[in-house]
Structure 1
Amino acid sequence: MLIDQPLEITCVFSDGSRAAFSLDGLPNPLLARQLATGLVDVIHPHGTSDSAGTVNHYVQAIRGMARTLAAQGFTGGLDQLRRGRLAQYLMGCSGGREACTRAMIEAFGQAGGSLADGVLELAAGRNFNVQPNHHALPPYSETEWQRLGDLCRRLVEESYAAHRQALISVAHGQHPAEGGWTPQNLRWLLATVGPVSISEFGRNVGISAALVHRRGGFHDATQALFPHLEVLVAYRLLFGIYSGIVPDGIEDLVTQDVDWAGDSTILLSYVKGRTAAESLNLPRRAVRLLEQWLAHSALLRSFVPPDEGRKLWLGLSRAGGDRRVRQFDRVAIQRWVQRHQLVGDDGQPLKIHRSRIRTTHEAMRDKSTWTGSGRATIDPNHTPAVEGDHYLTAATPAQQRAVEAVIEDAQHDLLRRSHPPTVITEEEAAALAEGYPQLVADLVSSTTR
């Protein structure tokens, strides 16, 4: 909740804890309030920020922006902030503060707030300051990798099967006011009016939201027809497992990046955080998953504005709601892990790092493809030494044994080649052939003795 006098934000998180953050006394209260308005949509239950520590980072970003711009003589609101000044400010921020500021401005603009030309596009774009990560995470163990993949596949398959069944029932449904309150008719109405809140759905039927809730079936119908955050997490993690694309490349994909090159081949274009555009011929499993996702999200995509419909990963923030997912951060993923009781080898909730998924994907690759120019499909920005450090030394026990076997074979070949070849004359070869039967007989007799 946003309170004006004095300016502050109060929060109630999913675990029942509460926190309040004061924004009073800043040199530019208008700018602070507008940023705080965007922050409201980032915090649970509207967004995925669900802890006092996370919200505090956003509050510090509001204070920093208000004070910095005021010191430069800017005292207006976000509607008066020009693209150039915003870019200058973001370039001077730390990586974390820049990310928080971008998220609040984007949320403010998407909620209907007035912004100058180009500001929303800049806020939704790529960060100027990339937070460095000098420590490559080791790949997941084979058992952890298997558990993660199995969970994602199960959720994806079950949700898509329910979606297809819901679409079939829509074809035979009618308005609940005429045909009765049945699951089939609820799905028909939602497929007609789109994802709406429970209050809006009640107005379409002519009853109150409380009565809709008592009769039941609304949340199940919404969950079946439209993909929500629970399913979206599974699709995106599974796509990373199948394709091995960098996390920021998956994050920013739009439908125009998908280029069909036949019935079973996709050339996917994506942008990596520290480099220019790249492309990848997707593996067959990733192609099928992407094809299924486009079919799964097609109905929801038909009800959103064209600009938002271009986003590849489109879903509702929760089943039974009408808000779309705006952020896909580590907090949302870890809550997903806890809900599904996904644990690591240590028995604790498995920590999901999307960059670690990429590392494990590369570690699991068939070694027979690591020849010639195949390394370009791993990472064209790495030297062979860096790739060796990231993808060979960080291997599972089974793969480590395979690498050691390859090294032993290579050493054996080198030793064999170091001995000079044995050359014999024709006379020596004839003498050897003549005495060969006797030599074999002597060996047999010595063996039997």
Structure 2
Amino acid sequence: MVTRVEHDPLRIEFTFPDGSSWTGRLAGSVNPRLTEDLALGVVQLIHPLGPWTTKGTAVVYLSQLRRMVALLAEAGFHGGVGDLRPAHMLPFWLAASGERVASTRRLLEGCGEHVHSSLRAHLAGNAVKKRPRSEPLEPYTEDQWQVIESGLRTVVRQHLSVQRELLALAELGPDPSDRGLNRQNYAWLFSQRGPLKVADTAAALGVSTAPFTYGGSRLLFEVREGLFPPVRLAAAAKALFGVYSGVVPDGISDLGLGDVTWAGDKSVLLDYVKRRRGPESVNLPARAVRLLEAWLELSTPLRRMAPAQVAEDLWLFSTSHRGMPPHRDGPEVIAISSFAAGNKAGGRKARRSLAVEIGLTDHEGQPVPLHSARIRTTYHNRLARRGWTGRTRIDPNHTREVEGSHYVSTTTPAQADAVDSVIEDAQAEIVRRSRPPLVLTDAQAADFAAQYPGEVARLGLDDESLAALLGSEMDVFTAACANQYAGEHGPAGKPCPARPWVCLLCPLAVFLPRHAPNLLRLKAYFARQSRQMTVSQFIAVFGPFADRLTHDVLPRFDAAVLTQAAADVQDVDAELPLRPEEVTV
């Protein structure tokens, strides 16, 4: 079956890639001709002809279609798509929101060549209003994440403990005391008959409904919800499953028993459908596997009595206390196929109740909603902060910009400040390393202040410190240091702890002819290290310094200076101030 337009009454019969279908009714329009033309355009936008793959998208766009037709009729337009001109659409778009402008432009694009060329020119250009940019979900804080994880885990564990106790009571058989109005008898009755309503329970026990009024049914509800998972428990299990696995929320909601493949006792391959992309699979983490085992145990008593049409749904819960009409072929149950369809209100209410129950609040103590998509954002945000995950993108449908804003760079203000500081330090380090080394001859050193006023200002030298620098008072092993207390490689105000080769990349280093022997000794040391280390090890430890010495520093010295200095080099470790772990063999 494919998506198609039907008449008498006018409607669109939608068929989506996951096999589901839906009827969008368009009868009673004030402009049937325009409505039908746009409906034919909608068909071109539904998979496989177009990008739309979900009922939610179709519902939104059909709503926009009806509104567009009604507003154009109010403005006096009663023709078809081919009669529309910029004079009709521009006033409509100027008066509409950016969201409606984007939606109606998309509807007209689906009509293709049926749209007049003058209007197609507008569709090919920029919209008169832009769709408002959605704000990425902010991940939960570390404290909130701990509250969510521990709170939801406690809810599931407590219910599992209660259910095991009730099943043990049910195995003891019926207890006729108190006319059967006791915990053991309720447990036995429900285990045999399913989640009965109050009237059905009274009939099964042969009593009137009077004992269940004015709070008398509290024990009955307690036992029934203990044996059969309520919507609150299903919502808690789904949210905790997202915490453990990071699977997209709509994929979790649509799971069935057939999507769970057990590869041994403790390994599970989960197949799910992401609505904007299609089928995906994941090897579940150990915690998610244990949660899945617990949920299957919790739902088994209800699943044994469920009708065939819902028994294969993974997230199964009892709603008998909601007054739902009973199924003809089984007890009264319903499966959560999605929080966005079929039981949307119940899902939202359950999550709100859970957030209050587990004490999920912000730093001011205000309640924070339990949001399934925000849980996934936090999961991947935490994963990204641990290091590379092995994937270039979390969602192939996203651009790198969207990935960054939704999953990686979405941080708290304190984390954002820390990231900015790291970036600033890294940029400053790149600038420092790109600066050419300051290598002087004796003549240049004698006239340093006149020839290099910019360098004198950069180094912050006065006459006294300049004289000390050009003399030998501020010498370190490989250079003269403009300020050993500047904190370039250690705490400010403390002597620099850097190793001799680090000076090669330091912006405070000044190289003079008297340093040539030590620079050659350092070059010989690099050569010895390169013979006893692998290439990758040497590059990681000494590579930048050896490159700087060989290609930037030594070539700036006069050849005669280097020849004279080479005579003093013995090529042994004793010539350098090394630590025990730095010596060569």
User: Shorter-chain TM-score category?
Assistant: 0.5 to 0.7
Q: Is structure 2 residue 383 aligned with structure 1 residue 365?
A: yes
Is the contact made by 2:355 and 2:369 (CA closer than 8 Å) also made in structure 1?
no
In the alignment, which residue of structure 2 is the partner of 1:94? Answer: 60
Deviation, 1:272, is 0.9
Name the structure 2 match of 1:48.
none
Q: Which amino acid aligns with 2:188?
A: W
Q: Secondary structure of 2:187's partner?
A: helix
C-alpha spacing 1:298/1:402, structure 2 compared with 1 (3 Å): farther
Which of 259, 266, 269 is residue 267 of structure 1 equivalent to? 269
Alignment of 1:392-407 (within 5 A): 392-396=408-412
Distance 1:171 1:97, change over 3 A: farther
Aligned-residue offset at 1:283: 1.4
Partner AA of 1:263 in structure 2? D
2:348 aligned to which of 310, 331, 341: 331
The CA distance in 2 between the partners of 1:431 and 1:190, in whole Å, is: 89
Instruction: Please name the residue that 1:246 is paired with.
Output: 248
Shift of 1:427: 5.6
List per-residue Cα deviations over 1:11-61 (Å, max 9, x = no partner): xxxxxxxxxxxxxxxxx9xx9xxxxxxxxxxxxxxxxxxxxxxxxxxxxxx
Show the counterpart of 2:570: 430
Deviation (angstroms), 1:339: 5.0
In 2, are the aligned partners of 1:179 and 1:185 still within 8 Å (CA)? Answer: no
Counterpart in the other structure of 2:149: 149
Greater shift, 151-160 or 343-352, is seen at 343-352
Query: Which amino acid in the other structure matches residue 388 of structure 2?
Result: W
Query: Where do residues 190-269 of structure 1 align in structure 2 (5 Å cutoff)?
Result: 190-213=190-213, 214=216, 217-269=219-271
The separation in 1 between residues aligned to 2:266 and 2:427, in whole angstroms, is 38
Q: Distance in 1 between matches of 2:144 and 2:258?
A: 34
**TM-score, structure 2 as length reference:** 0.49
Whole-Å separation in 1 of the counterparts to 2:427 and 2:171: 64
Aligned to 2:183: 183
Q: Which amino acid aligns with 2:195?
A: P
Aligned residues of 1:198 and 1:209 also touching (Cα < 8 A): yes
- My pick for the range that moved more, 313-322 or 153-162, is 313-322
Contact 2:235 2:351 in 1 (8 A): no
Indicate the SS of the match to 1:94: helix
Query: Contact 1:230/1:318 (CA < 8 Å) preserved in 2?
Result: no
Q: 1:297 to 1:418 in 2, by over 3 A?
A: same
Give SS of 1:264's match: coil
Alignment of 1:316-355 (within 5 A): 316-317=318-319, 322=332, 324=334, 326-329=342-345, 331-333=348-350, 335-337=352-354, 340=357, 342-355=360-373
Following TM superposition, by how much is the alpha carbon of 1:290 offset from its aligned partner in structure 2, in angstroms?
A: 1.2
1:436/1:139 CA distance change after superposition, 3 Å: closer
Asked whether the equivalents of residues 272 and 281 of structure 2 are also in contact (C-alpha less than 8 Å), the reply is yes
The TM-score, its normalising length taken from structure 1, stands at: 0.62
Identity of aligned residues (%): 33
Distance 1:142 1:433, change over 3 A: closer
In our comparison, the structure showing a higher alpha carbon Rg is 2
Deviations 1:200-234 (A, max 9, x none): 11111111222245375211110110000121121
C-alpha distance in 2 between matches for 1:336 and 1:396: 26
Q: Is 2:28 the partner of 1:67?
A: yes
Alpha carbons of 1:410 and 1:193: their partners in 2 closer, same or farther (altered >3 Å)?
farther
Please say which of residues 267-276 and 318-327 is displaced more in the overlay.
318-327
Question: Does the CA-based 8 Å contact 2:271-2:279 persist in structure 1?
Answer: yes
User: Partners of 1:65 and 1:281 in 2: how far apart?
Assistant: 44
Q: CA deviation at 1:405?
A: 8.3
**Any conservation in 2 of the 1:177–1:205 contact (CA below 8 Å)?**
no
Aligned residue for 1:217, secondary structure, equals helix
- Classify the secondary structure of the residue corresponding to 2:28: helix
Q: Quick one: distance in 2 between partners of 1:220 and 1:333?
A: 17
Question: 1:235, CA displacement in angstroms?
Answer: 0.9
Match of 1:386 among 402, 416, 433: 402
C-alpha offsets along residues 241-266 of structure 1, whole Å, 9 cap, x if unaligned? Answer: 11111111111111111111222111
Instruction: Describe the shift of the 1:64–1:172 C-alpha distance in structure 2 as closer, same or farther (beyond 3 A).
Output: same
**Contact in 2 for aligned 1:266/1:287 (Cα 8 Å):** yes
Q: Which residue of 2 aligns with 1:162?
A: 162
Residue identity matched to 1:307: Q
Structure 2 counterpart of 1:67, which letter? G
Distance 1:162-1:93 versus aligned 2 partners, 3 A rule: closer
Q: Which residue of 1 aligns with 2:445?
A: none
Aligned counterparts of 1:226 and 1:347: Cα–Cα separation in 2: 33
Aligned position for 1:120: none
Q: Which residue in the other structure is 2:139 paired with?
A: 139
Deviations for 1:161-196, whole angstroms, at most 9, x for unmatched residues? Answer: 111111122111226479944312210110000111
**Distance in structure 1 (CA, Å) of the matches to 2:426 and 2:260:** 43
Give the secondary-structure state (helix, strand or coil) at the position aligned to 1:315: strand
Structure 1 window deviating more from structure 2 (421-430 vs 240-249): it is: 421-430
Query: Distance between the aligned counterparts of 1:405 and 1:263, measured in 2?
Result: 47
What whole-Å deviation, never above 9, does each CA across 1:323-377 have from its counterpart, x for those lacking one? 5365144632454147525322343221233211111111111645525x4346x
Higher relative contact order, structure no. (Cα contacts within 8 Å, ≥ 6 residues apart): 1
Instruction: Give secondary structure in 2 for the equivalent of 1:278.
Output: strand
Give the Cα separation in 2 of the matches to 1:159 and 1:433.
70
- Unaligned 5+ segments in structure 1 are 1-27, 32-61, 73-83, 99-128, 441-449
Judged with a 3 Å threshold, the aligned counterparts in structure 2 of structure 1 residues 169 and 393 are, in CA distance, closer, same or farther, namely same
SS at 2:174 equivalent:
coil
Per-residue displacement from partner, 1:294-335 (whole Å, max 9, x unpaired)?
A: 110011111111220111111123769755365144632454
Give the conservation status (yes or no) of the 8 Å contact 2:197–2:321.
Answer: no
Contact 1:337 1:350 in 2 (8 A): no
The whole-number CA distance in structure 1 between the counterparts of 2:242 and 2:348 is 18
Post-superposition offset of 1:199: 0.6
AA in 2 matched with 1:430: Q
Kept in 2, the 8 Å contact 1:223–1:320? The answer is no
Q: Secondary structure at the match of 1:259?
A: strand
Conserved in 2, the CA contact under 8 Å of 1:248 and 1:272?
yes
The separation in 2 between residues aligned to 1:286 and 1:200, in whole angstroms, is: 37
Q: Given residue 270 of structure 1, which amino acid in structure 2 is its aligned partner? A: Y
Residue aligned with 1:280, SS: strand
Give the distance between the partners of 2:284 and 2:428, measured in 1 at CA: 36
Report how far residue 274 of structure 1 moved: 0.8
CA contact 2:245–2:284 (8 Å) conserved in 1: yes
Q: Which runs of 5+ in 2 are unaligned?
A: 1-7, 12-22, 34-42, 48-54, 65-106, 108-130, 324-331, 337-341, 434-504, 506-542, 551-561, 580-585
The residue matched to 1:173 in structure 2 has which SS? coil
